[in-house]
Chains A and B, each alone.
Chain A
Amino acid sequence: MSTVETVVRLAYLAAATCFVLGLHLMNTPATARRGNRLSIAGMLLAVAATLVLLVDSGDTSPAGWIVLAAGAVVGSVAGLWAARAVPMTAMPQLVSLFNAVGGGAAALVAIPELAPPADAASVRVPAALDVVIGALTFAGSLVAAGKLQGLVPGRPVLFPGARVVGGALAVIGAVAAGVLVRGYGGGAAVAVLAAAALALGVALVLPIGGADMPVVISLLNACTGTAVAMAGFVTDNSVLVVAGALVGASGAILTALMAAAMNRSLAAILLGGYGTGDGAS
């Protein structure tokens, strides 16, 4: 291992520590803000270390650097603007929107690894999982945000045969994932897998009432964490694995806590169809 690589790995370790301690500090109101700032420090460290890694490897073309910088600037400005401009009452849907783009990014990271069916199964399995979870979260979070914003009806949207459609989508996705994991099929199988996961994300969130959305967003947030951990397996990157698993697990606990605080069982929420929101029609 080269010196640079050692330093980068140590920086990733420090970043992961910042995330854990930062989350822990968010347990009490008095230290919560400090916890978030510690978490920001961890993020800056992780990104800086990755920049060092890229510069040191020297594989990136000038055009690649321009694309990287352009993407980072556009995304940062959009995120900053949205976070500043949106009124306090619209926060949950904004969090859901950020969750959607995070899930989308996680799914897209795995796609180059899946398209050429050459990698080992140890890469293909997490890559397929990453695309499924990430795409499902992307679509689901967008629908959840739409429901809270009033762009999508807040009442539970149910239609005859909805469960059958959901089941069929799950089967299609499972078959496409199986084909990819076995190493057959390239771009077409990836597209089918992503499309099935996107449609399933919509089908799962639509029947849930608007008042349950915060719990659903929290659950989708945990899903994105898991997708990021899978992306960590795909890119063989420890900070993605640690941070993703951390968010996946703490997000799942948080979802259970939120459901309990609302006196709702998670199973009842996910089955959907229970009024609230704009009122069932």
Chain B
Amino acid sequence: MSAELLATLSIFLLALLVGFEVIGKVPATLHTPLMSATNAIHGVILVGAMLVASVAETTADYALGFVVTAFAAMNVVGGYVVTDRMLGMFRAPEASR
């Protein structure tokens, strides 16, 4: 096992532990927006999509690059906009009370 892989594994494990702790006491009303927010964050696969599309050389590669970039971009943009919309709804009744 290379030193680099070991370092990446350490990062992976530590990020998992952070993930377990970071949303410890979230109230039930925030469950759905939080799910949507984490959904948008995994849209970071767009970075991977860009890396794949950038090295494309054959027609099949280009097609794959297009689909993967479109999927990932949809995940990122849609995910964040929906989350923001949910949170906007969430706060409106509180403000008017």
The contact size tier of chain B is 35 or more
A23 at the interface (CB under 8 A from B): yes
Nearest-neighbor residue (CB-CB) of A225 within chain B: B42
Residues on B with C-beta less than 8 A from A135 are none
Within B1-44, the residues touching A (CB, 8 Å) are: 1-2, 4-5, 8, 11-13, 15-20, 22-44
**Residue in contact with B90 in the complex, picked from A29, A39, A98, A247, CB distance below 8 Å:** A29
Complex CA distance for A202 and B18, rounded to whole angstroms: 31
**Residue in contact with A235 in the complex, picked from B31, B51, B75, CB distance below 8 Å:** B51
Chain B interface, DSSP helix/strand/loop, else mixed: helix
Nearest-neighbor residue (CB-CB) of A234 within chain B: B48
Contact string, A43-71, partner B, CB cutoff 8 A, digits 1/0? 10011001100100101110110011011
A26-B34, A79-B74, A243-B42 are contacts. A68–B65 as well, Cβ < 8 Å? yes
Nearest-neighbor residue (CB-CB) of B19 within chain A: A249
**Residue in contact with A239 in the complex, picked from B2, B44, B70, CB distance below 8 Å:** B44
Residues on B with C-beta less than 8 A from A192 are none
**Residue in contact with A109 in the complex, picked from B23, B34, B52, B90, CB distance below 8 Å:** B52
Beta-carbon contact of B91 and A94 below 8 Å: no
Residues on A with C-beta less than 8 A from B29 are 29
Within B27-73, the residues touching A (CB, 8 Å) are: 27-57, 61-62, 64-73
**Residue in contact with A79 in the complex, picked from B27, B68, B79, CB distance below 8 Å:** B79
A36-B37, A64-B56, A72-B69 are contacts. A27–B76 as well, Cβ < 8 Å? no
User: Which of A50, A61, A241 has most chain B Cβ within 10 Å?
Assistant: A50
Residues on B with C-beta less than 8 A from A198 are none
Beta-carbon contact of B15 and A68 below 8 Å: no
Number of interface residues of A (CB under 8 A): 100
Complex CA distance for A221 and B20, rounded to whole angstroms: 15
Beta-carbon contact of B8 and A228 below 8 Å: no
Rounded to whole Å, the gap between the CB of B57 and the closest CB of chain A is 8
Residues on B with C-beta less than 8 A from A112 are 52, 61, 64
Rounded to whole Å, the gap between the CB of A262 and the closest CB of chain B is 9
Beta-carbon contact of A98 and B34 below 8 Å: no
Q: Which of A84-92, A147-155, A167-175 contacts B (4 or more CB under 8 A)?
A: A84-92
Residues on A with C-beta less than 8 A from B51 are 50, 54, 109, 235, 237
Rounded to whole Å, the gap between the CB of B12 and the closest CB of chain A is 5
Beta-carbon contact of B26 and A257 below 8 Å: yes
Beta-carbon contact of A102 and B22 below 8 Å: no
Rounded to whole Å, the gap between the CB of B92 and the closest CB of chain A is 11
Beta-carbon contact of A92 and B48 below 8 Å: no
**Residue in contact with A60 in the complex, picked from B30, B39, B54, CB distance below 8 Å:** B54
Complex CA distance for A45 and B90, rounded to whole angstroms: 27
Rounded to whole Å, the gap between the CB of B86 and the closest CB of chain A is 6
Complex CA distance for A174 and B91, rounded to whole angstroms: 47
Binding site for B on A (CB under 8 A): 15-16, 19-20, 22-24, 26-29, 32-33, 35-37, 39-40, 43, 46-47, 50-51, 54, 57, 59-61, 63-64, 67-68, 70-76, 78-80, 82-84, 86, 88, 91-92, 94-95, 97-99, 101-102, 104-106, 108-109, 111-112, 122, 214, 217-218, 221-222, 224-225, 228-229, 231-254, 257-258, 261
